[in-house]
Amino acid sequence: MPVLENFEITGLAAEGNALGRHGDMVVFVPFGAPGDIADVKLEKKKKSYAQGRIVALKQPSRDRVQPPCEHFTICGGCRWQHLPYRMQLEAKHRQVADAIDRIAKVEHPAIPMTLGSRNIWCYRNKMEYTFSNRCWLTFEQLESGEEFPDRDAAGFHIPGAFDKVLDIKKCHLQDDLGNRIRLFVKAYGKERGLTFYDLKAQSGFLRTLMIRIASTGECMALMAFGEDRPADIEALMQALAAEFPSLTSIMYAVNTKVNDTLGDIDIKLFKGKEYIEEEMEGLRFRVGPKSFYQTNSEQAYELYKVVRDFARLKGGELVYDLYTGTGTIANFVSRLARKVVGIEYVPEAIADAKINSAVNGIENTVFFAGDMKDVLTDSFIAEHGRPDVMIIDPPRAGMHQDVVDTVLRAEPDAIVYVSCNPATQARDLALLDIKYSVEAVQPVDMFPHTQHVENVVRLVRRRQAQMADSTEL
């Protein structure tokens, strides 16, 4: 494939890429910055677009900043750390605006700038690492001609190469305690000749490590082993407890499945509590090894404040919280509502939601587990009451059509739609447009240095919106 010499990068695109034009063809380039002049080698070419990579940066953009991470461009995360944070927020704002304008095609008020995160490093409360005997070798290492007999790694999967893991020296996304725990386990394994997992052969002892560090300072370490070796497990757990006495919770699991997920695996407590706690406005939220909690604790608080503001509760409302997870939003807004009904697919999450209500003395919440389209039905609404406000926070795929239809029939006065995927949110806004108008929009950055953006939209029933307009006149 050809090399485009002195190619100018002019903007940012989806999936964390930059872009420029070569004639009528758009060229997507990872790790570029608007204003870069570079030699770009094309690696994939279609009729109207191509993908390439920078092979020589001739003239760096004036906007470029020095990435702090030595693994930049290799691990696949933090793809925008070479861009100033203001530019990242502007790009996420455009992403939201473009989705609403081009996909939803609905009227909306001016969209404020993306709400930035106070901490742009060390903001993640949860990290997951993989142990592998097939360390990823960089282009430089391969071209050096050196032999690398020791391929054991503890780090992240390489995008597009499931069986390769990049050995991480230091990750900047979590408190350094996370790095120290990972490096300790790796060193312990090397010293004692413990096998690192072989992702192709599906064998090996050290497999995955999850570390949660809460805003309260509590910390959970969960080690998953690919083989059931009780004596070795006990020895490693004892060593971990001795090295890190501040750990609130030390857990382990034996996972002999093909995949790394632990949702259906029995988790065993070795030391401490079975959960750690997050705190928000005096509310305590228990987070277990399988619990979902927003990965940026501080920014989750800012996000939930936007949700609460958009709900405009006065104390007498019946609120439905769809896709409630562990009931964080439901419990957060409960003090301003008459009653909150939460629905979630995962039974374990609903169990956590009920516990979170109980430990905080919240008595006006009820929670139900099951597939949203099967639980949220006309008969369910008839039984539990027509909601005044619906808070909807679906997975990336957005709402099922059946759920959209039920929401439209329920006719809540207002909907607060929270989404981690502006494209599917925009699709759903178009479906809701038959009865609802967009009254407010607020993008929120939960993941600095990535292309991901959270977006909150307030929708009001059209009859109400028209009445409000006539009142103002």
The reply to whether 286 falls in a domain is no
d(Cα 418, Cα 441) in Å, to the nearest integer? 10
pLDDT at 147: 81
Give percent helix, percent strand, percent coil of the chain, each to the nearest 5: 30, 30, 40
* Count of CB atoms situated within 10 Å of the CB of 229: 15
pLDDT tens string 211-223:
999 999 999 999 9
pLDDT at 143: 76
pLDDT at 468: 52
Q: What is the three-class DSSP state of 366?
A: strand
What is the total residue count of the chain? 473
Does 439 lie in the same domain as 302? yes
Q: Is 374 left (phi over 0), alpha (psi -120 to 50) or beta?
A: alpha
Say if pTM beats, i.e. exceeds, 0.85: yes
Interacting residues of 354 by C-beta distance below 8 A, sequence separation 6+: 327, 367
Place of tokens 């020296």: 169
Q: What is the three-class DSSP state of 334?
A: helix
Does 457 lie in the same domain as 371? yes
Q: Are the beta carbons of 337 and 363 closer than 8 angstroms? A: no
Does 234 lie in the same domain as 146? yes
Does 413 lie in the same domain as 312? yes
Q: Which strands form 49-59's sheet, in the order they lie side by side?
A: 3-8, 37-45, 49-59, 25-30, 17-22, 11-12
The reply to whether 324 falls in a domain is yes
* Count of CB atoms situated within 10 Å of the CB of 385: 14
The reply to whether 185 falls in a domain is yes
Does 354 lie in the same domain as 439? yes
Does 419 lie in the same domain as 313? yes
pLDDT over threshold 50, residue 385: yes
Percentage of residues in the chain having pLDDT higher than 70: 98
- Point out the domain boundary residue: 280, 311, 336: 280
Interacting residues of 373 by C-beta distance below 8 A, sequence separation 6+: 400, 402, 403, 406
pLDDT over threshold 90, residue 166: yes
Q: Which of 69, 135, 219, 420 is catalytic?
A: 420
Q: What is the three-class DSSP state of 165?
A: strand
Does 115 lie in the same domain as 219? no
Q: Strand 276-280 and strand 249-254: pairing?
A: unpaired
pLDDT at 247: 98
Does 420 lie in the same domain as 350? yes
pLDDT tens string 274-284:
999 999 999 99
pLDDT at 469: 52
For the chain, what is the domain count? Answer: 3
Q: Is 420 marked active-site?
A: yes
Domain residues for 142? 126-280
d(Cα 114, Cα 112) in Å, to the nearest integer? 6
pLDDT at 139: 73
pLDDT over threshold 60, residue 259: yes
Beta strands in 288-423 (DSSP E): 318-322, 339-344, 365-369, 389-392, 414-419
Does 108 lie in the same domain as 199? no
Q: Are the beta carbons of 418 and 307 closer than 8 angstroms? A: yes
CA-closest candidate to residue 253, choices 208, 220, 219, 214: 208
How many whole angstroms from its chain centre is CA 386? 31
* Mean of per-residue pLDDT scores for the chain: 95
Least confident among 36-40, 182-186, 187-191, 259-263? 259-263
d(Cα 226, Cα 400) in Å, to the nearest integer? 36
Which whole number is the average pLDDT over 230-236? 98
Beta strands in 110-205 (DSSP E): 126-132, 153-158, 161-167
Q: Are the beta carbons of 194 and 205 closer than 8 angstroms? A: yes
pLDDT tens string 397-409:
999 999 999 999 9
Which CATH number belongs to the domain containing residue 96 in this structure? 3.40.50.150
Does 51 lie in the same domain as 156? no
Q: Are the beta carbons of 252 and 263 closer than 8 angstroms? A: no
d(Cα 439, Cα 109) in Å, to the nearest integer? 7
Model confidence band, residue 470 (pLDDT cutoffs 50, 70, 90): very low
Exposure of 263 in the CB half-sphere (CA atoms within 13 A): 8
Does 187 lie in the same domain as 240? yes
CA-closest candidate to residue 449, choices 83, 63, 124, 17: 83
CA-closest candidate to residue 296, choices 91, 179, 449, 105: 449
Instruction: State both tokens at 372.
Output: 């949203």
Q: What is the three-class DSSP state of 380?
A: helix
Task: Answer with the residue of higher pLDDT: 145 or 200.
Answer: 200
pLDDT tens string 48-91:
999 999 999 999 999 999 999 999 999 889 999 999 999 999 99
pLDDT tens string 290-322:
998 999 999 999 999 999 999 999 999 999 999
Q: Are the beta carbons of 136 and 164 closer than 8 angstroms? A: yes
pLDDT over threshold 50, residue 473: no
pLDDT at 466: 56
In sign, the C-alpha dihedral spanning 386, 387, 393, 399 is positive
Query: Greatest CA separation found in the chain?
Result: 78
